[in-house]
Amino acid sequence: MIITIDGPSGVGKGTIARITSESVGFNYLDSGAMYRALALFADLHGIQKEDDKRLKKLLIDFHIRFIKEDGKEKVFINSDDVTEDIRTNEISTLASKFAVNETIRGVLRQMQRRLVKNKNYVAEGRDMGTYVFPGAEYKFYLDADPAIRANRRALQLKEMLGININETKVLEEITKRDKLDMTRSVCPLHPADDAVIIDTSILSIDDVVKKVESVVKNNA
């Protein structure tokens, strides 16, 4: 069974998806981490998002693995631990730029479907319920006021990487990223027609998790 959770940056999807996956006993797919890792990998090789020929070759050598260590989910590209490297603001922006490339999306989509096949997953991202798993049993789309999302994202960066970042700058970046994600021609971010839409602006994490769980339990 697949539960999809989509929505823009800073809306709390990662936290909600992780908690929900634990409470229902499903695996967790962080598709954003795949876009981030690929952007980092391409950047390290000096490859631009328009360079389809080199990207295709690079994708052959791109093996991403999610490994749970001491209760923490770690991300590896081949044998390198990139868990923290992919969380910077620079990589957030770069990931959105690479995410407009159709070749990349096609390969990552295949990887996501292969990973999830015949298993129970909570899949989180921008296009999980719309383009990657259109037949998912439960679909959620989380949204929130951009200023609130910027505040959450700044707190997250402080917690995760110890970085103090100006919230106004984060808001600018989030706004740019939203625009890029929502207006790209391939798999733009939008709610699936059959998604339950939750505005998380004034809800606690606990409130949102309860809402998600109640939809799943009431329809199970």
Give the x/- contact pattern for ligand C5P in 99-118, rule: CB under 6 A. x-------------------
9 binds ligand C5P per the rule CB under 6 A: yes
> Shortest approach of ligand C5P to residue 63 CB, angstroms?
18
181 binds ligand C5P per the rule CB under 6 A: yes
**Where would I find the H helices in the chain?**
13-24, 31-44, 52-60, 89-98, 102-116, 146-161, 167-183, 205-219
- Among 4, 92, 101, 156, the residue binding ligand C5P under the rule CB under 6 A is 92
How is residue 164 written in tokens? 């103090």
Q: Are residues 10 and 149 in contact, defined by beta-carbon separation less than 8 angstroms?
A: yes
- Among 125, 140, 146, 173, the residue binding ligand C5P under the rule CB under 6 A is 125
Q: Which helix (H) or strand (E) holds 66?
A: strand 64-69
Compute how many other C-beta atoms are within 10 angstroms of the C-beta atom of residue 158: 12
Residue 9 or 209: the one with the smaller Cβ distance to ligand C5P is 9
Instruction: Give 127-139 as a DSSP string.
Output: SIIIII-TT-SEE
Of 40-48, 114-122, 126-134, 168-176: span binding ligand C5P (CB under 6 A): 126-134
> Shortest approach of ligand C5P to residue 133 CB, angstroms?
10
95 binds ligand C5P per the rule CB under 6 A: yes
Q: How far is CA 211 from CA 141, 196, 207, in A?
A: 12, 10, 6
96 binds ligand C5P per the rule CB under 6 A: yes
> Shortest approach of ligand C5P to residue 32 CB, angstroms?
2
| 9: Cα separation from own chain's centroid | 8
Identify the residue whose tokens are 């695996």.
Answer: 27
Site for ligand C5P in 27-66 (CB under 6 A): 31-32, 35-36
Compute how many other C-beta atoms are within 10 angstroms of the C-beta atom of residue 128: 31
Of 77-85, 121-129, 133-141, 206-214: span binding ligand C5P (CB under 6 A): 121-129
Question: How many residues interact with ligand C5P (rule CB under 6 A)?
Answer: 15
Of 56-64, 71-79, 95-103, 161-169: span binding ligand C5P (CB under 6 A): 95-103
Instruction: In whole angstroms, give the CA distance from residue 194 to residue 204.
Output: 24
> Shortest approach of ligand C5P to residue 160 CB, angstroms?
12
Residues in the chain: 220
The site for ligand C5P (CB under 6 A) is made up of 9, 31-32, 35-36, 92, 95-96, 99, 125-128, 177, 181
